[in-house]
Structure formats: C-alpha cells, structure tokens
Structure 1
C-alpha cells in the first residue's frame, strides 16, 4: 500500500482473509477452520443469510422495487469493480468530516476484519481539532436500560465524534445484536446520550 499498488494490496488481503477472487480458501480459513470472518464465534455464515437474496427474487418484491427481470447477483460484480479502491485510505477525509458533521464509528466486539482495537487505533491517529478531547475522553459503560444487568457496550464521545463498541456483536451488528444496534443509533441520532 505504501507504494500505491492498491490492487495488489487488495489481492493479498483477499488471499489472506476473504478468498473471493483466488478460487481457493483464504489463509484465515486454513488456520482457523472457519469461513466466517464477520464474527469470531461463528464457523460459517448463518443459514438465514440466504433469505435476503431469496426475498429479492420474489416476483412481488421485484415488482415493488422496480427491477424488472434483472437477477439479483449479490455483490460480486460490485466488489470486482471497486477492487482498486478497497485498500485506499479514507483517513485524509476525516478532519473535514469531523469539522462539519456528527460522526459515529462503531465496532462489534467480535468482529474479525475491522476489530474494535483497529478502529480505536485509527481514531487515535487522526489529526483533527478535537483530537486532544478525544484522547482524554474515557470510555463509558452503555446499557439499553439503566437497570439492565447486561452491558450493551462502551462509548467514548468527544465533540462530534462518538466511538462505540457493541458487546456480543461481530461485523454485522444489526444481525448479531439488533436491540443494541437500534439503541446505539437511536441515542446517537436523537442525542439522548449513553
């Protein structure tokens, strides 16, 4: 990536983790026995993950979303078209985003590919006007209801930036922890606090 060969970097990542483009199992699968890098606790994708594609193929759904006879094909074509962009850093955009918008960065505690520690290290490395405030901010415990025994996650806030770690969730927070995911977004949108 330092040389600017983003396509080569993507193909290396694909061979290590994803395995979509290589035609053989990625390194991650070979060393873990798992094909699911969305949640460290799962060895394979849940069977209900196919429901979405099946739903999109229903005649009534196709009519309602105005797609005609176009077949739903997942994201393989899109992935192929953006291979050269996937590994490009968006870090330079963050100071502008944080100067103009509220930003929520959340991670599932069990996410393999974009783990909470990676997100936190990224946020700590950003140069922006609120950096010192962010670095000084303490993570706070977040519960959906104050009397809950279960902790939903941990939140750190500094100015326009909110960082959250959702307990019990992998990469797909709305699937793994729908109540926690909804509460997180609802609090962030409405400004109710954590």
Structure 2
C-alpha cells in the first residue's frame, strides 16, 4: 500500500472544502486518491473514496469526466465491491486491473446508503427507509464535495449504477438536478447509467417464468406457479402493500429455484448449486438470501486460492491505509440493516423517475447483461416500453448497431440503440455483473457514454 497522510483537502484536486474537518479526510502522498466522511445528517455519516485517473487527457473541448458508482444490494459496499471487484484500479489481491474504468474517467465510490460498508449511523433509527431519503443524503454529499471545488465542477458527473443501485441513481439524478436548478449544487450532471437495474420489480418478476420456459429450464407447471405469484405481487403493488410484495417476491424466488432445478439468478446459464456462496442443499429452503448480492460477487469471480478475502482486506490493509475509520465501525456487517429498513421500498418501481430525467433532457443510459435473470433484459425492455417519454416511439424504431471490441469485427459483443438522450446497450455473454463478465466492451461503453478524451 502506498504511503499517505492526512491534510486539508484543499491541496488535492484544488479542493477547498471548508466544511470537512481534517479528521474526516485522507489523501495519498501523490494526491491521486482522497477519501473521507461527510455527516449528511446529524449522526449519519457517508464514506466516499475518489480516484484521480492517471490516464487523464486535458482537452478543453471534452472535459475529463467523473463516474460516481452506486452499488446494489441494497446495502452493498461500492467502496469495496465496485472498487476492488469490478472497476477500480486494484483487484482484491491489490494487483492492477487492466480494465479499470480509470482509463475513461475519475472514479468516485460511495458506501451508500448510510450503514453500508464503512458508512455508519450513530443511531439505527437514522437508516434510510426510502430511495428518496438515500438520494437526499447523496445530494448532501455531492454539495460538500463539489461546491467548493472548481476542478470537480468542470468535470461532468456520470452516475453509474448496478442492480438496486439503479433505483438510487434515478432518485439521485432527480434530487441533484433540482439542487442544481436551485443554485444549491455546483455540478454538471452528464447522465445517469442504469446497469442491470431493479427499476421495475413487477416487470422483472413477470419475466422470470416465461424466460426460463423459453430456455427449456422450467416446465409448464413451474411457469404457471411463477406467473401466479407474479400476479399476486402485481396486485399487492397496486394496493400499496409493498412489504407484503417483498415477502411474495422471496416466495417467488424459492419457487423459481424449485422448478428450475436451482437456476442461478445472476446468470441463467449456470446452476444455483454452483454458486460458492449459497450452493449447499441445507440452505436451499432459505431462498435467495437478501444480502447475497455482494457476497456472491466476491465469491463467484474471486474464488481462486490466491484471492484475498474481502472482509479481511477491508478490515485489514484497507482500514490501515484509510486511518479515519472509527474504531466501532466494521466493514461488511451492516448491509442487513439497510435491507430491512428498505423493505417497504424494495418493490416500488422507479419508471416515473426515468421519465422525469428524460423529460428534463438528462441523458439516460440503460445497459443489461444478456444472461441476467434477476434483472433480465426481457424485464428491462418491458419497463422501457412503459415510458411516457415523447421520444420513445422513435427510439423503438431505431435498428440496433452491433458492438465489437479491440478491432475484432468478427465477434459481436453487443448492440446499442440511441435516440436523443436515451441509449440502450445489450451486452452479450454477460450476466448481472457486466463490468466483470465483459470488461472490454464495458470499458468501451463507458468511453462512449462519457465521451472521454481518452476514448481510443
């Protein structure tokens, strides 16, 4: 780990954040990284970590962008999972990642909502209970980071999200835009990118049975049972019984597992039993555990004998490097608290927020892994067709353009369609975790979305 020291952040990235105390800020010796806490509400603290790209290209016509990464779960740690397992400069063995998104942008990771990862609350009643509350906290954090920083203000911010993080992303997009309009936030909002995002739970649960039936993974009996439970969820949502809908969602996932011989929710080409996290028969009855998203990502893609345990990494070398983590805060032990608090919001759709972003002229990018089940492309296309945006008909009439990578025009890696401020990327060969499973085309997509000066 490189040497670092604590100092006023005004010396790094030209920051002049007068509201942040020295005790809440850390910076690497060379100024390439900084991190800290923002008390977004009394006794509620969000942890953030910002990387300055070594590949930065200075181009006045194309300002260097910043990507804010929002993890799913809800309750997954962006500072750990998005950073060390997906797109950050180092992997979980602290080895350089060739496909880091730093090639295209500076990276800002946040452990959000409060009580995720290194973020914490001093009173458990302060954990957010809605997506909007999480967005308000994030907007407060952005005000602290951007308002006193002329360098950041020149860098367009792109909010990239994964899984449940997409619901946070669209609510943050609306909240940040309103704060910008009101003169409360000095920030250029470049766009909102939704990766395999849980935008419309109803559309996703209706997609599961038919998709698996088409894949020869489920019988007609299983299809009927899954469709029946999806209809029950639809009725509960219509009646505002959101917590009951979350309970039925769990019941439906158990049924999907039972009637598909344990398909993998994050990649329908695989078996749930092959999942190194939950793949033992004694745990089948427990269903698709609610905090499994983040643990799955760690175990599925970093299960080699040499892979460092992420819990040990975050509470060992990383904690030692950061220095500012309170003694009573342990990484990784709080995501269940976040999920429990959001039970009433978990199944609520956020299609209306996507419509609002589009109507305001904000760029919206949707990208989806071909092999994902839980946030299937079939479900994403279903909620996309529910948009009331006046450009939808024209968007749907556009023929997708094939995508290739590294000059290989013989292997199709995906497709993309765009009209005005809406884009969709279909990523072939990827499941739920697109940056991990298709890193090359993901990096190319980020460059296209952000119009990075380093888009070679």
Into which bin does the TM-score normalised by the smaller protein fall? 0.7 to 0.9
Q: Is the 8 A contact 1:134 1:157 kept in 2?
A: yes
- Deviation track 1:18-64 (CA, whole Å, cap 9, x = no partner) reads xxxxxxxx223222333631111232141627843332122x21133
User: Would you tell me which structure has more helix in proportion to its own residues?
Assistant: 1
Cα 1:74–1:186 shift into 2, 3 Å? farther
Find out whether 1:87 has 2:347 as its counterpart: yes
1:3 counterpart residue number: 239
**Contact map agreement 1:152 1:180 (CA 8 A) in 2:** yes
Instruction: Name the SS of the counterpart of 2:425 in structure 1.
Output: strand
1:48 maps onto 2:302 in alignment: yes
**CA root-mean-square deviation:** 2.3
Question: Which residue of 1 is the match for residue 419 of structure 2?
Answer: 158
Counting matched residue pairs gives 184
Bigger-Rg structure (1/2): 2
Gaps of 5+ in 2: 1-236, 276-295
Query: Which residue of 2 is the match for residue 73 of structure 1?
Result: 333
Distance 1:191 1:135, change over 3 A: farther
| Per-residue deviation, 1:82 | 0.9
Alignment match, 2:258: 30
For the residues of structure 2 that align with 1:11 and 1:122, how far apart are their CA atoms?
Answer: 22
Distance 1:48 1:121 in 2: 33
Tell me, which stretches of 5 or more residues in structure 1 are unaligned?
A: 18-25
Using the alignment, how far apart are the partners of 2:338 and 2:410 within structure 1?
Answer: 42
CA pair 11-152 structure 1, distance change in 2 beyond 3 A? same
Structure whose residues are more often strand by fraction: 2
Q: How does 1:108-147 map to 2 (within 5 A)?
A: 108-147=369-408
Q: State the match for 2:200 in structure 1.
A: none
What corresponds to 1:23 in structure 2? none
Pick closer, same or farther for the CA change 1:74–1:190 going to 2, 3 Å. Answer: farther
The 10-residue stretch of structure 1 (70-79 or 90-99) with the greater mean CA deviation from structure 2: 70-79
The answer as to whether partners of 1:62 and 1:68 remain within 8 angstroms in 2 is: no
CA contact (8 A) 2:354 2:364 kept: no
- Give the equivalent residue in structure 1 for 2:252: 16
- Partner Cα distance (1:28, 1:55) in 2: 34
- Could you say what secondary structure the match of 1:106 adopts? strand
